[in-house]
Structures are given as structure tokens and as C-alpha cells.
Structure 1
Amino acid sequence: MSVFRMPSLGADMEAGTLVEWLIKPGDEVHRGDVVAVVETQKGAIEIESFETGIVSELLANIGQTVPVGEELARFGTEDPVASAPAPEPLEAPAVVAKPHKATPQAPPIPTTDTRASPAARLAAQERGIDLSTIDGSGPDGAVVLADVEAQAQTTPTAPPTKGGLSEMRKAVAAAMVRSKREIPHFSVSHNIDTQHLSEWLSARNADRPPSERVLLGAAIVKATALALRSVKALNGHFAEDAFILSDEINIGVAIALRGGGLVAPALHQTDTMTLDEVMADMRDLVTRARAGRLRGSEMTRGTLTVSSLGEKGAEAMTGVIFPPQVALLAVGAPQIRPWVSGDTVVPREVTRFTLSADHRVCDGRQGSKFLTTLEDILSKPEEL
């Protein structure tokens, strides 16, 4: 018999609300299968199983808030259906457990008793819409995202929460305050000539439809992963007063959500992906993040995060590390600047890269090596 527990989906998470079971007693589950959807302050996250077996019992009801580490289900090796009475239907009105006392709660919106997709629940919460007032167009009358968006056209926007902060903003703020308080940050910045890279991407994309073009951000993410092969001290997690070096390079991508706030899901084994694969997976992450369908492993396995201002905007930014990671790379918007080339000064596209790192595990020398290695890789885009 093995136990499936509420996982921690971030250093700031203390509990999650179960919004959907994707398994039932008697189902065979393999490691990596998505078994449930849990809603946190960062949205609805698909939870994968870390165990293999047959579901013997579901211990949490839809709508129940469960602290991290508490049991959600039990897996066995035999089918329990033939020898046990049928479980009480989980679609009955939810029995909401008392939440963990340290967990901030969202404004009370009675949505847990209505069949709805996680994306619809998240959108309804952001807009202050009661799901029970919507006629669903999904399977078995379930409310889907399109139904919420249609309702939002005729429903006044709910007033902001106290202090004008959404629950997502509160969660991000709490995590960043903790990060700055507990992690001894230091920063190293470097200007890199990205003109050749941008010209190479323009030529590469010339005959491609928009859906297949590779953006500058994807090239930077791939180059960052390759640079980490040379500076391994930045690739891992700091936990229980020790640095744990990761044997995978999983680059987190900071994504701004439409309702406010930020998430940083990771691309697994980014250094082994092709440039086209990185771009396709980044598009997929953005789409699913904004629809509230990220997976638990994407939220927890990142080993370094890249946060970019995009191709237009401010010249520079200094980021705050996402714990338990030990580094974050902030990328400013490219700027045309005077640049010395040989004996002349010419206008070139220049991008400012700022590395924030944890002084407990590395120092300025290693940070500098990372940025100069990154510069060398970006100067040879044909090898990405």
C-alpha cells in the first residue's frame, strides 16, 4: 500500500484545494500520470503521481482544502472495486475541511459545488463571478472558460480585495519577501551584443509562418541552459541548509498572468532540446499557465529561472530568486547603443543581462563566468 499526499508546489505553499479527481478506485496509475487538479493561489495545477499502483481509496473530497503532506489517496496492488462497497460519490456537495491556519484564503465565492473546469474556476475567481449563476456548455453541463468569459461581458467586475491586491499578487509578494529575507542575494550584470543573434533569427524565420517562428526569448532560454553546463554551481536547489546540485537543467520561464501575478514553470532538460522544441514548449507553457492547466512537476523542478522584459521595454531589471532555486537571470529589452567594434564605434543591438545569485552557494567569480559563457554561446546562434 502506498500513499499519495498533497505535494508542495512552491516554497510558499502550505495547502491546496482539490478541484478535480482524474482517477477513481480501481484505476491503474503509473508514475507521472496526472491524477488530480489542485487550486493554489498561483492557479489550478495538474498533479502527477509519484507512485505506481491501483487506486484503492480517495481520501479527499472535491472542494476540500488539504495541507501539504496530508493524504489525498491510497494506492494498492489489487483492484478494490470487487471486494469493497462503492465509495460515496465525490460530486455530492463538498465537505470543506477547515483550512490550514497559516494559509491566506481567497474571497468567498461559492464555486466548489458547481461542475466546472479548473480554468473556468480560476477565471471566475479573478472576476468575482459566482459559478452557480452560469449555465455550463461543457460535458454534462460543466462550466467552461468560454462560459465565464461570456458571463463577464454582462457582470460588473467584483471590487478588489483589501489593499487592492489579488490573491495571486499576495502569494507572489509573500514568496518574494521570504526570498529577499532568507537568501543573501548578489547581482552581476553584463551587456551583450545580440545584433548577430537577432539578424540570424530574422533570416531563419523569414519563410516560416508565425506559429513556427523562434523568438529571441527562446534562444536566450536555450543558451542559458547550455551555459549552466559550465557553471554547475548555479543549477540546483538550496534546502535544509545545503545546496543540492541537480543532474538535470530545467529552465524556469517567468510568465505574467492576465489577472495579475507571476508563475515560473520549467522546461525539463532544456539543454537537450532543439531550439524549435524550446520555442514550442514555451508557447505551450504560456497558453496553459493562462488557462490554469500547469503541472506540478513544471512548478517544482525548475533549477534556474529566466525572467525577460521582452523585445520592447526597459533596458535593465534585477530579479528576485524563486526559492529553492539559487539563481535568476533577468533580461532587459534590447537597445540600440554605441558599440566598439575593432577601431570604430558602430550602432549595435545590445541587451543587458543581470544574474541574481545566492551567495551561500556561489560568488561573483562564478556569476561572471556564467555571463561571459552565455555571451560566447549567444555569439554563435548557429550552434544553438
Structure 2
Amino acid sequence: MPEYKQFPLADTAEGLTEADILTWHVKPGDEVTVNQIVVEVETAKAAVELPIPWAGVVTELLVEPGQTVEVGTPILTIDVDPGGSAPATSGNNGSAAAEPAAEEEMKPLVGYGAKAVATKRRARKEPEGAQPVPSAPAPVSAPPAPAPEPEPVRGGQVPLAKPPVRKLAKDLGVDLRALAGSAEGGVITREDVRRAAEGPVTSAASSQPAEPAGYDPGTRERRVPIKGVRKMTAQAMVQSKFTAPHVTEFLTVDVTPMMELRERLKANRAFAGVKLTPLAFAAKAVCMAAKRTPDVNAVWDEENREIVYKDYVHLGIAAATPRGLVVPKLHDADAMSLTELAGALEQLTATARAGKTTPAEMLNGTFTISNIGVFGIDTGTPIINPGESAILALGTIRDTPWVVDGEVVVRKVMQLSLSFDHRVVDGQQGSEFLSDVGALLGDPAMAITF
């Protein structure tokens, strides 16, 4: 007879309590194998793909994309014995007596181990002519209460689209449920969304043009729930701004020598195929300067009333992504050469923009760089990331009149701004660090003196 198990939303080992369901990779009736990716969720730090620890047949998806779910809440039901070969026993969740050993082997998997959390879900409409999908028993003894019907979805399935495509559709007011994806497996692409946005888009339930989610035509306002990355960023910035006393200092630097060195290095075979950016030079300068001024790489430990000095630099790079601002880290950046830093930065930014940064890559930073210059901005007063004591903002590089040897000439000039926690970093230490970074960017040959 069928044996049902419910797959809980995973604790992704980052201390989070909830996540948003982004994309289902399976539907009722699909066969799945052990460790197969079944769902993509968005936590407050990253988009994470979750594998399932059992093989079997999916019988029910318990939550819809866009819903916020607490960790441990069942989100999917699977029949692990669709052939009915295992004898039924009276165990938890209807599990067979032969399963515990196999389940013990699965415990290291992300997402293993449900906790007793009541699941509130809506019944799913089956497509016309389809066979009814059997409902699995609830993880608790009480039968589930009847719930309201969900909004209909095309073909009874969840639209297949990546998070950036979903955001584009939301921004353009396109209903993904009304689209047929052109990519392999019916996945909806950006081009599908843009084509649909050029004309009226109708949903499966209405012939009226779709409005952007949360839009009220009466007030001409759009309301978007605060969750995911935006929620985490807001909480972190408020905590930092009103906990750490911020001081910001500014320095204008002639980086012409750095830009000239950059051009020469492009012809060097050691840098062949490497995208060498000013950010890579800044990252190297920060790591070198932090060794001379370790205060900027320390942290205030309020609970233990200690200042913790780090003998390593886990360098955070603020990146604008379709999901919002994220700060992935280059762990042990101080041990990397300029070539290694350039390659790691290129990979880090590409991964962040694709929404594939893992939770582990978002943790344990010691210092952050915010490259606001890519937006044409000269300077700013960045807010320190919680758990760190300083952040450096890089302004855009401009051709600027500059006095050299008593004459005004055109030079490549940029502005640096350093915000630091005045509990940890005194004005002297902050000034010395910023001066060192400026010296290394203004004359890379200074590195041999460090």
C-alpha cells in the first residue's frame, strides 16, 4: 500500500527561521530520486536549491510559489512506496518499520527531519480529465481542516521560471501562469516575459490585462511585502546604524599610475583571460593595509565585552542583484595574489547576479568594499555591515584637472570613503588605514614598502 512522507522546509544551517518558496522543480505525479533538487527557496541571504532525501512519487505540493514558510513546515508529500511492496505499520507519519535505518543515512542531507508544525495549505484544483491525486496523512494525528481554493494555475502546475525572470514579470505586470515557456522543459525565459509585456496579458481566469502584483488602480500605488533579502538588509542596516557609532572619512586619490599598471598587466601572460578591474586593485590594497592597521578588521563583541582581532580577511563585496543587495565574501582574501583576487571577484559577482550565491558564501565577513563607482557615483557614506567594524566605498574614476609638479594636467582621479565603528577604530587608525589604501592605489609601487 502507499507510504506517504512529508518533506519539511530545510534549516539551511544559517540560523534562519523562514524562507519564501521560489520555484518548484517537480509536480504531482513526478518520480523523484534520492538527492534530486525539488524546490528553490529564497532565504534572507540567498536562493537555495533543496534536495529530497527519499525516492518515490510526488503526490502533493503543499505550498505555492511566493508563500513564506517557517523552517520545519511540510511543503511536499511523496509516496515512497508507490508499488505497495512495503508492509504498512503504525509508525510516525505512516512510515514502514524497515525505513529507520535508511532514514538515519539521510540525516546529513539538507532538509532532513520535520518538526511538529501545523501546515496551513489550500486544496489544489486538478486539471480537467486528470486522475485525482491521493492526499497524504498529516504529520499529526488531527485531520487537516478544510481550506479555501487556490487561484487556478495553468495546467494545474506551477509556472517554471528562474527568480530573475519572476522579478521581471512582476515589474512588467506579466502573469507567468498565462505563459508557455520557450526553453527546454517549458521554462519561461526573459524573452517570453518581454514578448508578453508588449501586448495585453490575460490570466487563466480573466481576460482583463494583468496589473502588477500589489497594484491598486484606485490609489495608483503598488504595495510589495517586505521579505527575503530586502527584509534582512533593512534589519541589518538599522541594527548597525543605531548600534555602532559611525564615523566616515574621505580621500581623493590620483589613480593614474594604477590605471597605467592595469594596462601593462593586460599584456602580461600571467593575467591572460583575467578581467582585471580597479576593484581587484582596491581589494588587494585593503588586505595589505589591514595588516598594518588590524583595528579595521576587528569586531566589537558586546556579549563578551571584548574586541576580537581577526588574523585573516574575509572580504565582503557589496553586489546589486535582481534579488536586492547581497554581500558575498571572499574568504581568506589576504592570502590571494592580485591574479587570484581578480578571478575570484569575477566569479563572485557573476554568481551573485545569477542569484546562486550560497548561504555559506554570505557569512563571516570581516571587512566590506562597496563599489558605488560602477553607477557613476563619486562618493557616499556607507553603513557598516553587522559583525564588522569598517566598510570602504569606491567612487567612480574620472578625468579631472590635477596639479602635478606645479602644473595642471588631466589625471585619473577617484574618491574613497571609509566608515568605521568608533568603538573599535579611533580616528588615528581609521585615517592611517585610509591613507595606506590611497597610497597603494595612487602608486602601486608602494606595495614593496609594506
TM-score, normalization by structure 2: 0.60
Name the SS for the 1:375 alignment partner.
Answer: helix
- Among 282, 289, 293, the alignment partner of 1:231 is 293
Which residue is equivalent to 1:114? Answer: 159
Residues 298-309 of structure 1 correspond to what in structure 2 (within 5 A)? Answer: 298-309=361-372
* Matching residue's letter, 2:212: A
- Among 47, 66, 69, the alignment partner of 1:45 is 47
Which residue is equivalent to 2:129? Answer: none
2-side partners of 1:277 and 1:212: how far apart?
Answer: 9
Instruction: Tell me by how many angstroms 1:65 deviates.
Output: 3.1
Instruction: Tell me by how many angstroms 1:329 deviates.
Output: 0.3
Name the SS for the 2:288 alignment partner.
Answer: helix
| Higher-RCO chain (CA-CA 8 Å, sequence separation at least 6) | 1
Instruction: Tell me by how many angstroms 1:346 deviates.
Output: 5.0
Instruction: Tell me by how many angstroms 1:306 deviates.
Output: 0.9
Which residue is equivalent to 1:273? Answer: 336
Contact preservation (8 Å) 2:279, 2:371: yes
Instruction: Tell me by how many angstroms 1:236 deviates.
Output: 4.9
Residues 142-221 of structure 1 correspond to what in structure 2 (within 5 A)? Answer: 142-154=187-199, 155=201, 158=212, 167=226, 172-205=233-266, 212-221=274-283
Count of matched residue pairs: 345
1:79 aligns with 2:102: yes
Which residue is equivalent to 1:17? Answer: 20
Decide whether aligned partners of structure 1 residues 345 and 312 sit closer, same or farther in structure 2, where only a CA change above 3 A counts. Answer: farther
Which residue is equivalent to 2:312? Answer: 248
Contact preservation (8 Å) 1:312, 1:334: no
Residues 339-354 of structure 1 correspond to what in structure 2 (within 5 A)? Answer: 339=402, 341=404, 347-354=410-417
Contact preservation (8 Å) 2:297, 2:310: yes
Decide whether aligned partners of structure 1 residues 5 and 312 sit closer, same or farther in structure 2, where only a CA change above 3 A counts. Answer: closer
Larger Rg: 2
Report Cα offsets for 1:17-71 as digits up to 9, x if no partner: 244689x88549xxxxx997431466x523799xxxx9579xx966563447999
2-side partners of 1:354 and 1:192: how far apart?
Answer: 11
Name the SS for the 1:80 alignment partner.
Answer: helix
Contact preservation (8 Å) 2:275, 2:343: no
Contact preservation (8 Å) 1:6, 1:69: no
1-side partners of 2:102 and 2:212: how far apart?
Answer: 47
1-side partners of 2:445 and 2:23: how far apart?
Answer: 44
Identity of aligned residues (%): 30
Q: Which runs of 5+ in 2 are unaligned?
A: 1-8, 26-31, 56-60, 76-98, 107-118, 123-150, 202-209
Which residue is equivalent to 1:130? Answer: 175
Q: Which runs of 5+ in 1 are unaligned?
A: 29-33, 84-94, 99-107
1-side partners of 2:160 and 2:317: how far apart?
Answer: 31
Contact preservation (8 Å) 2:368, 2:392: yes
Instruction: Tell me by how many angstroms 1:201 deviates.
Output: 0.9
2-side partners of 1:251 and 1:123: how far apart?
Answer: 30
Which residue is equivalent to 2:444? Answer: 380
Instruction: Tell me by how many angstroms 1:276 deviates.
Output: 3.3
1-side partners of 2:198 and 2:351: how far apart?
Answer: 23
Decide whether aligned partners of structure 1 residues 113 and 247 sit closer, same or farther in structure 2, where only a CA change above 3 A counts. Answer: farther
Instruction: Tell me by how many angstroms 1:213 deviates.
Output: 3.7
* Matching residue's letter, 1:292: G
179-188 vs 124-133, which deviates more?
124-133
Contact preservation (8 Å) 2:365, 2:387: no
Report Cα offsets for 1:236-295 as digits up to 9, x if no partner: 555554544444312222223367x42222222222233333333333333333332221
163-172 vs 192-201, which deviates more?
163-172
* Matching residue's letter, 1:79: A
- Among 356, 364, 370, the alignment partner of 2:427 is 364
Residues 290-329 of structure 1 correspond to what in structure 2 (within 5 A)? Answer: 290-310=353-373, 313-329=376-392
Contact preservation (8 Å) 1:5, 1:71: no
Name the SS for the 2:415 alignment partner.
Answer: strand
Instruction: Tell me by how many angstroms 1:232 deviates.
Output: 2.3
Q: What's the RMSD between the two structures over aligned residues?
A: 4.7
205-214 vs 374-383, which deviates more?
205-214
337-346 vs 134-143, which deviates more?
337-346
